[in-house]
Structures are given as C-alpha cells and as structure tokens.
C-alpha cells in the first residue's frame, strides 16, 4: 500500500484530483485489480500518465510511444523480464542500448524495490507503457514496414542510381544541344511534338467525358430493414496526421458521423512522435472507444507512407482505408465499400472513392484545382477502369482488402506519392482496381507557395514511380501486359512530358506574339503544312480539355465559367514550373515530404449527404 500511496502522491503533485485517487483505492479491490489499473480501465487516466508517474517515482526516464526502437537478433525482438514484472525489451534510445521495462500494475512495487536495492541499474533502465512496448514489437515484425527488404526492385529507395543519373544528364545535355541549333531546325519539330501530345491528350479527355455516364460498381445499399440482416466486416480507418492540431475537431466529428457499426470499426490516428500539439488536441476531443491514437516512432524518411505502414501493422479490420486530416467523407462510404467488396471477386483489391474540392471559390488556384479533380475522379479514372487500364490511386479514400495490401508489401515509405505507386504495384500482382461513386470532400491549397510545394511533391513521386516500375520494362510488360504497359507509359511519362513542355510552349507564343523573338521563316510548303498541323493539334487538345473541364465542373456544381477556360493555360504553365521544381528536388531531397498546411480554406461547402435507400 505504501508504494501505491507514493505513486498517487506523484499524481496529485501533477494536478490530478485527490478524490479520484480515493475512489480508485475504494473500488479497485472489489474488481480484484490494482488501483492504478482501475484508473486506466475506466479511462479516468491514461496509461502514459500512470507509467510516467511511476518512472518519476523510480527516478528513471520515461519513454513515450515511438521514442525508441527494439534491438533484434535475426529480426526477432530481444525479450527479457518476468510475467509478474511485465515485459522487458532491449531497446535503443538516442543511440544508446537500454532496458525498456513495462511492469504490470501489480508489479509496480516489486520493480521499485529492486531499483532501490540496485540503484546502479537506473542508468540503464527505462520505463514505458504497455502500448509503447506493443507498438515497438509489432512494428519490428510488421510485413508492411519493409517493402525494400521483401521486394527491393519495387522500392523507390534506390531510384537515384548512377546509371539513372547518367541517363538523365545525357538527356538534359541533348535537350540543351537541341535548343542551341538554329530556330529553323528545332522550332517546327517542337511545335509538332507539342501538337501531337496535345491532340492525344485531348482525345483521351473527350473519350473520358463522353464515356462516364454510369458506374458498373455502383452497388446501391439495401434499405434499412434489409441492412439489419447484414453482418458488416471489420474495418480499419488510418488517419496519418502531422501538425494538424487546428483541424482535429472537424476531423474527429467527420469520422464520428460515419454510418458504420462502431463495434466493427477501428479508427487509428497516426501521430509522429514529436507532434505533441496534435496529440494533445486529439486527447482533448475525448474520442469514443473505437478511435485510437498510435504514435509513430521517430525515423526516416518521415513520410506519410511510413506512418501508414505502422498503422497497417496495428490494423484489425478485414478492410483498410485512408483519410487525410481535412477529409470529410460521405457518411455511408464505408458501408458502400464493404458492400461492394462483398459483391466483387477476390481479385478486386482496391476501390477508389471520388475526391472533390469543397473550397473551389477561394481563388484562382483552388478553383482550377477543383475542376482538375472533377475531371480526374469523375471522368478519367472511371473511364480507365471501364476499359481495363490500371490507374494511379488518389492519396486518400482508397479502400483496400487488407490481405492484398499486405501481400504486395504495403506502402513504400520512400515514395512521396505512395498512392500512384501502389496502384501500379497492385496491378503487377494481378489485382484489379475499381472506382466508387461515393465522394470525399477535401481542401485545396489557396496560396501559390503551398500549391507549388504540394504539386512538386506529387510530380516528384510520379518520377519516382516511373523510375521504380520502368527500371525493368520487360518485367513490367510480363506482369501487366503490353497494352497496359503502353497505357501506363502514356499516363505517367506522357503526362509529365506534356506538363514539362507547357511553359516552353507558352513562353514561345508570348515571345513571338509580342515581337521579342522573330519566328523562323515559313514560306515553304512544308513549313506551312507543319504550322497548320501544329495549330490544329493544339486546338484539338485545348478543346478536349475545355469540354472535359466544363462537363466535370458542371456535374460537381462548381459552375464553370468562360474565364475558367480562358485561364487554363496559366494553370498549365504553373504545373510546368512545379514539375521543374520536382526534378530539382528528386536529385537534391528525393524523400523529403513537402507538408501541406490544412485548415486555411476561407469557404467550404457542406458535405452532400447520400440519397436514402428505397
């Protein structure tokens, strides 16, 4: 009892109510447990509060979740300790090997007595909560945390190899040499390249616009009476967060509004170990029992896919989905995904929900971002699915069969657009991707600085994905077939090439239009024909994009205007600048995650509620 009293004295000194301690001492014996355990079981105090107080009582450091890693022998954690005193791991904290101890509540006094008798041990002993021990052990054994070990040829860890750098430098040199030639040599060739790229893109846009009248995976949920007979599968929602304290309240509310049985739902908030503000904000929300906080151990690279790998190791659901901090999914999205998976063959590994920007009226960038998302998620991805082409996933609201996700190695922590990479990797393993009609509403950046940083990260990840999957083209063709290889090449490399050409193209037009540069002579018949073809091809590309933007924007109720169509070239010019930055970052800081600050939107539309089932 003396040990319990001393522990409670530490808690009271920290500001914990003394009456709370008295209640624990009164009711804990009736349940046959220690008073400290009673406080944790009844959610009166957190495990971290109890164990940090015990560490203070023992005069040894306390290690919070994620602050240490586990020493291993042949990939297995080194365990010590007894059942009474709880598990002890040989861990590494700040580069130093230490004994990490998590005693049971009943063993507190025994551990304290032992340390008092052997004070020299305090220099090597650390106290951690059971949750911290479980996390460290679980992550060590996680099959999804080490893609680069299981499938090294599918990881972006080594995209900056010397041969690749050599090829890039050779290409850059040839491009510069090409531009130093007389304009009469390269001008018409460049214009034709641009026209062909625009024309192909325009036809693809038109095809996706005209084809997406229905969704073959639009399984309508049964009515409420029929729904009561359904046994819903276990579902895990992963929510990676970093420096998101200002949006936590809205996020928690949006996830609490999800229409899914809470006894079948697990929500894991993934918090970086140094993000105390977001952790405190989440704890202040007093979330329901099915929502848990998982602290991600410190390490590199600090990326979203790395955090997701830790979350996957703790996921208990049969299905897994990902939401971002600013996301507001339609309430029935989980049920729609689970119901659809139940109707689909087992080789369907992922269903992508549609993402929609809800602050489209915040300015030029957010408006074009909203129209771009409408074209992508409401038109292009459904069209690619319908014609059987694999596609890059969106960074959020993708719903997975957990078994399939683990089989392919989970997320690549070294790829900064883990979604695009994962879509291709699933296809390489023989899985299919689908598209849902349910929507998730997101916030777009409203400043040029934030937009450029985010877009540069996306393009950097696309370049990483190309480097990974095109490093052995023959193997990729064998995995997905020549048709799909050709389509993915056009989708990734072709799109990036067109984006890269936009600033050059518009700069040339501007320079020639205002007389800064004299255009090459075009008296010959060939030059006249090339000029006509380049103008026609560019016009087809622009018209296709304009029609797609208009139709998609109208469907999403963004109210597309003539000004939106006229300013498309300006937006495309900005995407080219972002790509140039991405190329620079790929060689300078390939694994740095450009963090997008959320909660900056001035106006956000209400979430459109799903239609009631008949």
**Cβ atoms 47, 131 nearer than 8 A:** yes
Q: How far apart are CA 485 and CA 473, in angstroms?
A: 8
- The residue-averaged pLDDT of 53-71 equals 84
What's the pLDDT at 225?
53
Number of domains in the chain: 2
Is residue 95 left, alpha or beta, with left meaning phi > 0 and alpha meaning psi from -120 to 50? left
Q: How far apart are CA 94 and CA 52, in angstroms?
A: 18
Residues 87, 214, single domain; the answer is no
Residue with tokens 């979350």: 311
Residue 158 is inside which H or E element, if any? none
Among 108, 140, 172, the domain boundary falls at: 140
How far the first Cα of the chain sits from its last, in Å, is 62
Residues 36, 178, single domain; the answer is no
**Cβ atoms 71, 97 nearer than 8 A:** yes
What's the pLDDT at 103?
86
What's the pLDDT at 427?
97
Provide the 10 A C-beta neighbour count for residue 415. Answer: 31
pLDDT at 7 over 50: yes
pLDDT band of 80, cuts 50, 70, 90: very low
pLDDT at 101 over 80: yes
The larger pLDDT score, comparing residue 533 to residue 568, is at 568
Write the pLDDT tens digit of every residue in 38-47: 898 888 888 8
Residues 247, 130, single domain; the answer is no
pLDDT band of 579, cuts 50, 70, 90: very high
Q: Closest Cα partner for 409 from 91, 147, 54, 27? A: 147
C-alpha distances in Å from residue 369, one per residue of 121, 384, 525, 573, 582: 59, 21, 42, 14, 18
Residue 573 is inside which H or E element, if any? helix 568-588
What's the pLDDT at 61?
92
Among 93, 123, 140, the domain boundary falls at: 140
The larger pLDDT score, comparing residue 22 to residue 297, is at 22
Containing domain of residue 549, as a range? 143-614
What's the pLDDT at 572?
92
pLDDT at 612 over 50: no
Q: What value does the CA radius of gyration of the chain take, rounded to a whole number of Å?
A: 28
Residues 415, 282, single domain; the answer is yes
Write the pLDDT tens digit of every residue in 327-356: 999 999 999 999 999 999 999 999 999 999
**Cβ atoms 452, 580 nearer than 8 A:** no
What's the pLDDT at 510?
78
Question: Please, what is the average pLDDT of the chain?
Answer: 84
**Cβ atoms 36, 108 nearer than 8 A:** yes
Residues 123, 269, single domain; the answer is no
Residues 12, 152, single domain; the answer is no
- Residues of 98-117 as b/e, b for ≥16 C-beta within 10 angstroms? bbbbbbbbebbbbbbeebee
Residues 513, 579, single domain; the answer is yes
Residues 111, 168, single domain; the answer is no
Write the pLDDT tens digit of every residue in 423-458: 999 999 999 999 998 999 999 999 999 999 999 999
- The residue-averaged pLDDT of 212-230 equals 65
Residues 109, 177, single domain; the answer is no
Write the pLDDT tens digit of every residue in 254-288: 999 999 999 999 999 999 988 989 999 998 887 88
What's the pLDDT at 75?
40
| DSSP character string of 3-55 | HHHHHHHHHHHTT--HHHHHHHHHHHHHHTS-HHHHHHHTTSS-HHHHHHHHH
Instruction: Provide the 3-class DSSP secondary structure of residue 64.
Output: coil
Q: How far apart are CA 285 and CA 114, in angstroms?
A: 39
Write the pLDDT tens digit of every residue in 156-192: 987 555 555 565 666 666 666 666 666 666 666 677 7
Q: How far apart are CA 68 and CA 200, in angstroms?
A: 52
Residues 172, 120, single domain; the answer is no
How many residues are present in the chain? 614
pLDDT at 78 over 50: no
Residues 68, 178, single domain; the answer is no
What's the pLDDT at 227?
66
What's the pLDDT at 172?
63
3-state SS record for 305-341: HHHHHHHHHHCCCCEEEECCCCCEECCCHHHHHHHHH
Among 104, 122, 140, the domain boundary falls at: 140
Q: What is residue 219's DSSP assignment?
A: P
CATH of the domain at 180: 3.90.550.10
What's the pLDDT at 143?
46
Residue with tokens 């918090």: 271
Q: Considering the chain, what percentage of its residues have pLDDT values greater than 70?
A: 82
Lowest mean pLDDT among 127-136, 219-228, 534-543: 219-228
Residues 166, 100, single domain; the answer is no
Lowest mean pLDDT among 128-142, 304-318, 451-465: 128-142
What's the pLDDT at 613?
41
């Amino acid at each position: 009892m003396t040990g319990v009293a001393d522990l409670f004295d530490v808690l009271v000194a920290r500001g914990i109510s003394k009456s709370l301690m008295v209640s624990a001492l009164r009711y804990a014996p009736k349940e046959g447990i220690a008073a400290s355990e009673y406080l944790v079981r009844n959610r009166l105090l957190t495990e971290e509060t109890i164990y940090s107080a015990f560490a203070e009582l023992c005069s040894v450091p306390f290690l919070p979740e994620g602050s240490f890693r586990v020493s291993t022998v042949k990939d297995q954690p080194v365990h010590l300790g007894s059942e009474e005193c709880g598990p002890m791991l040989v861990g590494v904290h700040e580069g130093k090997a230490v004994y990490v101890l998590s005693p049971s509540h009943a063993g507190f006094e025994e551990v304290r007595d032992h340390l008092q008798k052997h004070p020299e041990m305090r220099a090597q002993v650390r106290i951690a909560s059971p949750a911290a021990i479980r996390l460290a052990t679980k992550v060590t054994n996680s099959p999804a945390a080490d893609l680069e070990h299981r499938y090294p040829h599918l990881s972006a860890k080594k995209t900056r190899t010397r041969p690749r750098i050599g090829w890039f430098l050779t290409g850059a040199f040839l491009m510069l040499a090409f531009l130093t030639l007389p304009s009469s040599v390269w001008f018409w060739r460049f214009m034709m390249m641009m026209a062909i790229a625009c024309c192909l893109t325009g036809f693809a846009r038109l095809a996706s616009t005209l084809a997406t009248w229905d969704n073959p995976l639009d399984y309508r949920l049964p009515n409420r009476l029929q729904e009561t007979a359904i046994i819903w599968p276990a579902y895990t929602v992963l929510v990676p967060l970093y420096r998101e304290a200002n949006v936590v309240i809205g996020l928690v509310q949006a996830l609490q509004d999800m229409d899914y049985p809470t006894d079948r739902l697990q929500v894991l908030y993934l918090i970086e170990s140094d993000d105390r503000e977001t952790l405190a904000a989440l704890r202040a929300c007093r979330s329901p029992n099915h929502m848990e906080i998982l602290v991600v151990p410190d390490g590199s690279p600090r990326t979203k896919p790395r955090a997701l790998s830790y979350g996957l190791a703790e996921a208990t659901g049969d299905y897994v989905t990902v939401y971002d901090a600013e996301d507001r999914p339609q309430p029935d999205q989980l049920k729609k995904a689970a119901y659809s998976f139940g109707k689909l063959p087992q080789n369907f590994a992922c269903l992508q929900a549609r993402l929609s920007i809800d602050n489209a009226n915040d300015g030029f960038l957010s408006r074009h971002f909203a129209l771009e998302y409408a074209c992508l998620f409401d038109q292009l991805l459904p069209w690619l699915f319908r014609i059987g082409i694999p596609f890059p996933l969106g960074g959020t609201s993708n719903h997975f069969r957990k078994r399939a996700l683990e089989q392919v190695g989970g997320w690549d922590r070294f790829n900064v657009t883990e979604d695009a990479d994962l879509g291709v990797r699933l296809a390489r393993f023989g899985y299919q991707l689908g598209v849902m009609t349910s929507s998730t509403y997101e916030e777009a950046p409203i400043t040029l600085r934030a937009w450029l940083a985010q877009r540069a990260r996306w393009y950097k990840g696309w370049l990483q994905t190309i480097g990974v999957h095109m490093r052995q083209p023959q193997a990729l063709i064998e995995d997905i077939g020549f048709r799909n290889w050709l389509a993915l090449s056009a989708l990734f490399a072709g799109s990036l090439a067109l984006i890269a050409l936009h600033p050059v193209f518009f700069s040339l037009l501007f320079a020639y239009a205002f007389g800064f540069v004299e255009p090459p002579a075009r008296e010959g018949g060939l030059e006249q024909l090339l000029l006509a073809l380049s103008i026609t091809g560019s016009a087809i590309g622009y018209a296709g994009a304009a029609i797609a933007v208009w139709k998609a924007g109208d469907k999403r109720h963004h109210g597309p205007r003539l000004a939106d169509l006229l300013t498309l070239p300006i937006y495309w010019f900005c995407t080219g600048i972002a790509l140039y930055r991405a190329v620079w970052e790929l060689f300078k800081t390939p694994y740095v995650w450009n963090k997008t600050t959320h909660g900056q939107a001035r106006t956000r539309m209400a979430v459109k509620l799903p239609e009631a089932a008949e």
